[in-house]
Structure 1
Amino acid sequence: MPVEFLGIATTNDASETSERTTRPVDPDYLVRIARAHQDNGWTRVLFAYGSSGPEPAALAAHVAVHVPAIELLLAHRPNVSYPTYAAKTFATLDQLSGGRLSVHFISGGNDHEQGREGDTLTKDQRYARTREYIQIVKRAWTSAEPFDHHGEFYDLDDFVLDAKPYEGHVPTVSFGGSSDAAYPVGAAEADIYAVWGEPLVRTAEQIARVHAEAQAAGRATPPRIHAAFRPIIAPTEKLAWEKAYDVLGRIEARKAAQGGVLSRRHPIDKPENAGSQRLLEIAAQGERFDTALWTATAKATGGAGNSNALVGTPEQVAEALLAYYDLGVRVISARGYDLLDDAIDFGRYVIPLVKEGVAQRDREAERVAA
């Protein structure tokens, strides 16, 4: 079965380890990093969302024009627009990109961050709203006739979208969350369910939960699973670990220079969202798991988003990723700490190895079936 690779498209080169050296919104850097992913075997790039960041749909449109083949994953929070407007925005962008759009719906795990844009719902209410929102968006994409909707969060009458997505393409819906309120929503509505990289046994538990919730929702086929990591690779294992501890030192130095914080969006201590709580819980149990998973970066950042690392040679990191593939992971998200160079290196040295490992598994499955 195919495996896909998700990178990130950013407007500047800042990361947890370094201040930016570009403008805050640098169109040339945005195109450069998107093209680096396209030219090195990646499937798509993510346009992330933050209350203080640039508007991701505009960034995706810019990349769609200047980078002709890379697929686009647009992060979107339902609190920022009405679902009919969002469906229109997404369909327009899908038309402009020639059917390259996917959408990642974010319910929001931090009350303070959500409140910056006027969202006062509780976490459970946000997940319920996301479910209704996705249902309306998908119906708008596919309905040939005007429809009404009267739900808990949205009321509308006689809506039809004239400009549908590109040539019958329905954008893939991606969703993430690790709380009890999240699993039923994503398992019922999403094409891809995203989790952060955890030890294999914990990832297997999350996959089982998603599959069980999908079955309970009446789905014959569950969502594909997406797992996210921070790869740290080098030609030898020794050099990889030296690089890893250098990365950790740079994170701690930047955190100290900023008064013990890395981001206004995410607290270092006591994060509200279940995914970050899980990462910190795992980090408290140890630094190394399985063959290559390293939790020190997650601990240093307060479990901020995708923050567990995979450390080793390209061969070791590829084998670690193939173990997740064997669990059922079909989308691999990877982001380095030196964004541009690490995207190129991962694409050149790791992606081909993972693809060949998947191809070998497919050939063996065909042989057994024959």
Structure 2
Amino acid sequence: MSTSPIQFAYWVPNVSGGLVVSKIEQRTHWDIDYNRKLAQIAERAGFAYALSQIRFTAGYGAEYQHESVSFSHALLAATERLKVIAAVLPGPWNPALLAKQIATIDQLTGGRIAVNIVSGWFKGEFTAIGEPWLEHDERYRRSEEFIRALKGIWTTDGFSFAGDFYRFRDYTLRPKPLQKPHPEIFQGGSSRAARDMAARVSDWYFTNGNTPEGIQAQVDDIRAKAAVYGHKVKIGVNAFIIARDTEAEARAVLQEIIDKADPEAVNAFGDAVKQAGKASPEGEGNWAKSSFEDLVQYNDGFRTNLIGTPEQIAERIVALKAVGVDLVLAGFLHFQEEVAYFGEKVLPLVRALEARGETIPQAVTA
């Protein structure tokens, strides 16, 4: 278990439709005014990171999508300490372009930009914009080359690289990013290929929502493999947080979300993502084993079980930390008010438990 305080990030709603595929009211909005205010609320509440989403086409309730890198820069301009993680897709992006974009934003914002390399799950999106759709493990091979190229461009002069997907010859980027050795690199996934890639090249590994036991199995695998390469990887887990004054209130909200789920959209989303998850050779990628209820929240966020009173949620967060989680990536139904509530009611309890050195082992199976 890390001795550092567990950190918190939130999903930036730069894509319309909210974070649940349900007809329940979601008091959130994808426009810049809402998001600027949300970023400022999150910064005051104690969130260290925000993660912008990358989508190119409509689908599953996401009718509108702002581009992630430019939107992230706008949020950085509205804040002072928050670090924003811009999600990008190898394929649409070339590493030379992204390296230049991120270096510039890093210079302009005092070193507060990071990237999340998304290997891709939405085949229809790639087809719509004329990008080749690679097989599961090939997508991760391309992402690994993408990350190796980013690191090389950001840290060396006269960078040369000869891969299967990207090639560089004596390329020097100036100015380089302020952050040393380079801006943080996040990636997601649950498959063997995703874990293996993280163990070799990524700073952070995001996994879909899961139980502490399920998360620990991934943590142990990644960290054992990373040690072979002399590398260290931090772990982030997705969670949809429903914090209310009573457990009954929180559970009622969850039930309403599921009761009002849009079956057609959920099933269409499920078909798309399970194709991506099951396409891994071992059949254990993201969403490969997700139920209908799991898929109502895009990244299995209900499975992390951060649903209940502030006290219950704080205990479960500390239990996640005990199995190796360094960061909770949080989604909410009503972002502005619930991020503020989390900062006021939940986060102080987490810090108090951490200060007492408690791990709350009984919460692991709660």
Shorter chain as denominator, the TM-score bin is 0.7 to 0.9
3-state SS, counterpart of residue 66 of structure 2: coil
Aligned equivalent of 1:92:
104
- CA offset at residue 357 of structure 1? 1.7
1:5 aligned onto 2:5: no
Distance in 1, matches of 2:47 and 2:71, equals: 18
Contact 2:136 / 2:276 at 8 angstroms: preserved in 1? no
Q: 1:14 touches 1:21 (CA, 8 Å); kept in 2?
A: no
One of 232, 238, 242 as aligned partner of 1:228: 238
The code of the aligned residue for 2:90 comes to: P
Structure 1 residues 237, 208: closer, same or farther in 2, change over 3 A? same
Q: Distance in 2 between matches of 1:298 and 1:83?
A: 33
**TM-score, scaled relative to structure 2:** 0.85
- Whether 2:276 is the aligned partner of 1:272: answer yes
Alignment partner of 2:201 out of 189, 200, 203:
189
Give CA-to-partner distance per residue, 1:83-131, whole Å, 9 cap, x none: 1111111111111221011111111134333333313221211100111
Q: Which residue of 2 aligns with 1:345?
A: 341
- 1:318 counterpart = 2:314: yes
Aligned-pair distance for 1:187?
1.2
Query: Per-residue deviation at 1:34?
Result: 1.1
Q: Is the 8 A contact 1:13 1:338 kept in 2?
A: no
Deviation at 1:135, TM superposition (A): 0.5
Give the number of aligned pairs.
337
Give the partner amino acid of 1:2: P
Matches within 5 A, 1:128-143: 128-143=141-156
What is the distance in 2 between the residues matched to 1:265 and 1:246?
A: 20
Following TM superposition, by how much is the alpha carbon of 1:305 offset from its aligned partner in structure 2, in angstroms?
5.3
> Amino acid of the residue matched to residue 265 of structure 2?
V
Q: Distance in 2 between matches of 1:102 and 1:133?
A: 15
Asked if 1:358 is matched to 2:354, the reply is yes
Q: Is the 8 A contact 1:64 1:96 kept in 2?
A: no
Tell me how far apart the structure 1 counterparts of residues 255 and 34 of structure 2 sit (CA, whole Å).
27
Q: Which amino acid aligns with 2:41?
A: A
Residues 313-333 of structure 1 deviation map (CA, whole Å, 9 limit, x = unaligned): 000011011111001111111
Q: Deviations over 1:309-357 (max 9, x none)?
A: 4221000011011111001111111111222222222222111211222
Alignment gaps of 5+ in structure 1: 281-295, 364-370
Residues 299, 161 of structure 1: alpha-carbon distance in 2 compared, 3 angstrom cutoff: closer
Unaligned runs of 5+ in 2: 58-64, 278-284, 360-366
Q: Is this contact kept in 1: 2:162–2:168, CA < 8 A?
A: yes
Q: 1:167 to 1:228 in 2, by over 3 A?
A: closer
Task: Indicate the residue corresponding to 1:290 in structure 2.
Answer: none
**1:170-194 CA distance string (max 9 Å, x none):** 2111111111221111111111111
User: Identity of counterpart residues, as a percentage?
Assistant: 25
Is the CA contact 1:5–1:43 (under 8 Å) kept in the aligned structure 2? yes
